[in-house]
Amino acid sequence: MGYQFMQQKLIKKYIVDFFCSKLKLIIEIDGKSHCGMDEKDKGRQEELERLGLSFLRFDDLDIKFKIDEVLGKIKSWIRENEKAEQPPRPLC
């Protein structure tokens, strides 16, 4: 869809899996390393959301076995949110 995502991007003191600065979107892939980290992940996400960033989270098994669904959800998010970010076009 024409957007560039950086992998393993440092934001504040956190490394996020994927980040698109134009969309202000973080995509996180949760696997075994996130087991038992729910509270820590929640606090980290809330801190980054206070910067005006949005999150999409996916399970690593969905990435491996349901990639079309994952891509569909990302595309839907972009379509819904890029409209909100675009300034109105001039009438002339």
pLDDT in tens, the chain (92 residues): 999 999 999 999 999 999 999 999 999 998 766 555 677 888 999 999 999 999 999 999 999 999 999 999 999 999 999 865 555 555 55
Give whole-number Cα distances, 5 to 65, 76, 78, in Å.
21, 16, 12
The candidate with the shortest Cα–Cα distance to 11, out of 1, 23, 22, 21, is 21
Ordered structural domains, the chain, with CATH? 6-85 (3.40.960.10)
